[in-house]
Amino acid sequence: MHDAHAFLQALAIVLCVAAVTTVVFQRLRQPVVLGYIIAGLIIGPHVPIPLVADAGIVQTLSELGVILLMFSLGLEFSLRKLIQVGPTAGITAIIQCSVMVWLGFITGRAFGWTRLECLFAGAAIAISSTTIIAKAFDEQNIRGNLRKLVIGILVVEDIIAILLMATLTAVSSGAGLSAGALAVTVGKLVAFLIELVVVGLLVVPRAVRAIVKLNRPETTLVASVGICFAVALLAQTLGYSVALGAFLAGSLVSESGEGKTIEHLVQPVRDIFAAIFFVSVGMLLDPVLVAQHWGAVVVLTLVVVFGKILSVTLGAFLTGNGMRTSVQAGMSLAQIGEFSFIIAGLGLSLKATGSFLYPVAVAVSVVTTLVTPWLIKASGPFASLLDRKLPQPLQTFVTLYGSWVERLGNLPRRETVGARARRSILLLLVDAALLVAIVVGASIGSARVVNFLVREVGLLESVARTLFIVASVVLCVPFAVGIVRVARRLGVTLAEAALPAAPDGKVDLAAAPRRMLVVTLQLGIVVIVGVPVMALTQPFLPGLPGATLLLIMIAVLGFSFWRSATNLQGHMRAGAQVIVAALAAQSHATGDSEHPEENKDSLADIRALLPGMGDPESISLIPTSPAVGRTLAELDLRGMTGATVLAIRRGDADVLVPTAQEVLRAGDVLALAGTHEAIDAARAVLEGGGEARAEVAEVQ
C-alpha cells in the first residue's frame, strides 16, 4: 500500500515535469503527447537524472487515465452509432489483426524466436492504442466519419485482444485450446456484452437523466464517473479489460441524451490522468535494453507502421469507405499501446517468452506513439497524392465503388437475396473452418502418421512424409477452391442486388459496372476470409505456403480486376457522352445554363439509364464561384471529397472525363459522380470557397 507522502511526491514530480515539457513542446509546435513521453523518460528509473517517481504509483494513476479516456469516447458514441459502424469496423479490424499477427509471427521466426514468442509478438503488435489515438485526434480536432470509423475499429480490436489473451493463455499452459473451449470463451464474452447492454439500457439512461435534472454539475460529474468506474470494475472482475467496460459505460450514459454535458464536465479530470498515462509509457522505456535489441525494435516498428497502414486502408476501402477516409484511418492506427504491454507481460508471467519481448514491445510502442501525430497530420495530403498518382481506370473505380456499396446499404430488405447471401456466407465459414482444421490436424498428426507408414507399411521415411504432404494438400484444395467459387457466387448475388440487370430484350447498361463490382467483391471476400485463415495456419506450417497460395489467388483475381477496371473506364466515357447530351438539352430548354438552381436536377431523368454511374448530379459554376479559373488539380476535388467530374458542359466545347489540368470557367456545368455525401462535400467546395474546403477536410 502506498503511503500518503510517496503518493504526493510521485504526483508532484509527474505533473511538474510534464507541465514543463508540455509547455516546451507547445512552444515548438509539436504534439504535447511527445512532451509527456519525454517527461516519463526524465523521471523514469532508466535515465541518470535525480528526479525519480514511484513507478507503481504512476502506473496506478495511468490506469485511471485509460478508464476516463475510454469513458469520454463512449460518451461520443451511443450504441446506435456503434452499431452503424459495426460491420465496417468489424471486418476492417479482423483483416488488420490477422495481417499483423501473421507479420509478427514471421518476423519473430526470422529472428530465431520460439513459436510461442512469435505468437505473443504477433498478438502484441496487432492491437492499436485507443488512448494514443484519442489524444492525437483531440489535439488535431479530428471529427466526422474518420473518427467514428477509427473508434469503431478500436472497440472491435479490444474484443479481439480479449480473445487473443484467452487463446495465448491456454496455449502457453500446455493444455491447448480446443474448439469447444474457444466457443465457451466467445460465448461468455458475448453474454457479458448482451447482459451489460440490456440491463444498462434499462437503468443507466434513466438514472442519468434524473441526476442531470437536479442541475448540480458536481453531482452529475460524481455520479457519471461513479458509473464509469463501476462498469470498468465489473468488466475487470469478470476477466475483461477495464477499457472495454469504461467505453460501454460511456455509451450507456450517452443514451440518456446528456452525453455532451457530461463530456464537458469530465474533460478536465480526464486530461490530467491521460497525461499521467503517457508519462507512465515514457517511464517504461529502458535505453539500454532497447540498444541491445535495436534490430527487433526497428524491424517491428516498420512492420507496425506499414502493416497497419496497408491492412486498415484495404479493409476500410473494401467495406465502402472512400479512398481518403480509408488512408487516413490506416495512418491513424499505425501504432501499438497499452494492450501490447499487457500481452507482452502475460507472456513473461506465463514463462512463454524471454525477458526481451516486454522492453521491445514498449520501445516499439514509444516510437510509434512519437510518429502517430505526424502520420495523422500527413494522412490527408498523402491520400490526395495517392489519388492523383492512381491510373485513371483505378481513379474511376475508386469513385464509383463507394456509390455501389452505398446502394447495397440502402437496399430494401429482400428475403430471397438475404437468404442466398446468408447461405453463401455460411458455406464460406464452413470451407474456411475445414481448411484450418485439415492444416492444423495434419501438422499435429504428421509424425504419428509417418511413423505408422514406416513401421506398418514399410515405406522409407522420406517417401512416407512426401505421401502425407501430398495427401494433405489434396484434401485442402477442394476447400480452397470452394472459398473462391463461393466468394464469386456471393459477389454475384450482392452485385445483382445493387445493380439489377435490364429486363429481357433491353440493353443492359449496368453490365460493365456490375462485372467490376462482382470481381471486386470476390477479391474482397477472398481477402477477408483468406487473411484470417493464413494467420491461423501459419504457426503450423513451415515456410509461407499459406501466404503464397493467397497471393496466387489475389494475383489471378487482380488480373481480372484490372481488365474489368479498363472496361469500366470505357463505359464511363460513353456514359459521359450521354450526360453531356442531357446537359445540353437542359441548357437549351432553360435558355440559361448559369443558374445552378435550374440545373441542379438536370440529370434526374437519365440516372435510370446509367445505373452504376454513382447517381450523377450537375453543378453550375457562377462567375463568383471560387473554382472559376482554377484547375481540377488545384481544387483537389476528388482527393478532398471523393467525388469525380464525369463531364463538363461548356458551350460548344464539351469535355468528357476531364484531366487534372482542366481549367474551370464561369458557366461550366459539371456532372459529378460519387456517393451522396461526396457530392454534397464537392458542392460545398465548388460553391462555398475556402471555409467550405476547411469544413470538408475536417469531416472527411
- pLDDT more than 70, % of the chain: 89
Q: What is the mean pLDDT of residues 241-245?
A: 79
Cβ neighbours, 10 Å, residue 124: 33
What pLDDT does residue 691 have? 46
Handedness of CA 379, 383, 385, 389 (dihedral sign): positive
C-alpha dist (Å) from residue 580 to 379, 510, 632, 637, 692: 35, 19, 18, 20, 27
Position 98 pLDDT exceeds 80: yes
For residues 391 and 127, what is the distance between their CA atoms, to the nearest angstrom? 33
For residues 135 and 151, what is the distance between their CA atoms, to the nearest angstrom? 12
Q: Work out the pLDDT band at 600, boundaries 50, 70, 90.
A: very low
Which segments of 44-143 does DSSP mark as H helices, in order? 55-76, 79-110, 115-124, 130-140
104 with 126: CB under 8 angstroms? Answer: yes
| Between 379 and 643, the higher pLDDT residue | 379
pLDDT digits (tens, 9 = 90+) for 627-685: 888 887 777 777 777 788 877 877 767 777 777 777 888 888 888 877 778 888 888 88
What is the model's pTM?
0.82
Position 517 pLDDT exceeds 70: yes
What pLDDT does residue 329 have? 92
Lowest mean pLDDT among 62-76, 209-223, 552-566: 62-76
Highest-pLDDT range among 63-72, 151-160, 235-244, 523-532: 523-532
Q: What is the mean pLDDT of residues 548-562?
A: 88
Highest-pLDDT range among 131-135, 379-383, 444-448: 379-383
Q: What is the mean pLDDT of residues 80-109?
A: 86
pLDDT digits (tens, 9 = 90+) for 327-375: 999 999 998 877 787 788 778 777 888 878 888 888 888 888 888 888 9
Q: What is the mean pLDDT of residues 374-401?
A: 85
Lowest mean pLDDT among 202-206, 422-426, 453-457, 557-561: 453-457
Q: What is the mean pLDDT of residues 223-237?
A: 89
596 with 622: CB under 8 angstroms? Answer: yes
For residues 486 and 434, what is the distance between their CA atoms, to the nearest angstrom? 15
| Nearest of 280, 383, 370, 268 to residue 331 by alpha carbon | 383
> Helix or strand or coil: residue 595?
coil
C-alpha cell at 578: 450521354
What pLDDT does residue 593 have? 44
Q: Work out the pLDDT band at 541, boundaries 50, 70, 90.
A: confident
Q: What is the mean pLDDT of residues 255-283?
A: 82
| Between 46 and 693, the higher pLDDT residue | 46
Lowest mean pLDDT among 274-278, 301-305, 473-477: 274-278
For residues 452 and 459, what is the distance between their CA atoms, to the nearest angstrom? 9
Cβ neighbours, 10 Å, residue 323: 24
| Between 597 and 573, the higher pLDDT residue | 573
The letter for the amino acid at 213 is: K
Q: What is the mean pLDDT of residues 136-162?
A: 82
For residues 308 and 320, what is the distance between their CA atoms, to the nearest angstrom? 18
What pLDDT does residue 670 have? 82
Position 217 pLDDT exceeds 90: no
Handedness of CA 80, 84, 87, 91 (dihedral sign): negative
